Amino acid sequence: MLEGNGRTELEKLGEFGLIDHIAASVTLQNPSSLIGIGDDAAVIGEGDRRTLVSTDMLVEGVHFDLGYVPLKHLGYKAIVVNLSDICAMNGRPEQVTVSIALSNRFPLEAIEELYSGILMACEKYKVDLVGGDTTSSTSGLVISVTVIGTVAPQDMVLRSGARPTDLICVSGDLGAAYLGLQILEREKRIFVENPSIQPDLTGHDYILERQLKPEARTDIIDMLRQEGVIPTSMIDISDGLSSELMHICKQSNVGCRVYTERIPIDAATGLAAEELHLDVLTCALNGGEDYELLFTASIRAHDRIKDNPAMHIIGHVTESSDGVNLVSGGSLIPLKAQGWRHL
Query: Each residue's pLDDT tens digit in the chain (343 positions)?
Result: 445 456 767 666 555 566 566 666 656 666 666 776 666 788 888 778 899 999 999 999 999 999 999 999 999 999 999 999 999 999 999 999 999 999 888 999 999 999 999 999 999 999 999 999 999 998 889 999 999 999 999 999 999 999 999 999 999 999 999 999 999 999 999 999 998 888 889 999 999 999 999 999 999 999 999 999 999 999 999 999 999 999 999 999 999 999 999 999 999 999 999 999 999 999 999 999 999 999 999 999 999 999 999 999 999 999 999 999 999 988 999 988 665 454 4
Check residue 340 and give its pLDDT. Answer: 47
Query: In this structure, what are the phi and psi dihedrals at residue 121, rounded to the nearest 5 degrees?
Result: -65, -40
Do residues 140 and 59 make contact, with C-beta atoms less than 8 angstroms apart? yes
Do residues 59 and 99 make contact, with C-beta atoms less than 8 angstroms apart? no
Do residues 125 and 93 make contact, with C-beta atoms less than 8 angstroms apart? yes
- Alpha-carbon span 316 to 338, nearest angstrom: 21
- Alpha-carbon span 274 to 265, nearest angstrom: 13
- CA dihedral of residues 276, 279, 285, 288 (deg, nearest 10): -10
Q: What is the DSSP letter of 204?
A: -
Residue 270 has a CB neighbour count (10 Å cut-off) of 17
For residue 96, give every residue at least 6 positions away whose Cβ sits within 8 Å of its Cβ, in sequence order, or none. Answer: 79, 82, 83, 122, 127, 128, 129, 130, 145, 146, 147, 148
The rounded radius of gyration (Å) of the Cα atoms in the chain is 20
Do residues 233 and 162 make contact, with C-beta atoms less than 8 angstroms apart? yes
Domain with CATH 3.30.1330.10 in the chain: 39-152
Cα–Cα–Cα angle for 218, 64, 73, rounded to 5 degrees: 50
Element (H, E) at 128: strand 128-136
Check residue 43 and give its pLDDT. Answer: 87
Say if pTM beats, i.e. exceeds, 0.75: yes
CA end-to-end distance (rounded Å), the chain: 19
Give the CATH architecture of domain 39-152.
2-Layer Sandwich (3.30)
User: In sequence order, which ranges of the chain are alpha helices (DSSP H)?
Assistant: 10-23, 71-87, 108-125, 176-193, 205-212, 218-226, 241-252, 267-275, 280-286, 302-305
Check residue 2 and give its pLDDT. Answer: 46
- CA dihedral of residues 248, 146, 151, 38 (deg, nearest 10): 30
Q: What is the DSSP letter of 81?
A: H
Do residues 155 and 230 make contact, with C-beta atoms less than 8 angstroms apart? yes
For residue 76, give every residue at least 6 positions away whose Cβ sits within 8 Å of its Cβ, in sequence order, or none. Answer: 117, 118, 120, 121, 213
Helices 267-275 & 205-212 angle (0-180, nearest 10): 100
Domain with CATH 3.90.650.10 in the chain: 167-334
Question: Topology of 167-334 in CATH?
Answer: Phosphoribosyl-aminoimidazole Synthetase; Chain A, domain 2 (3.90.650)
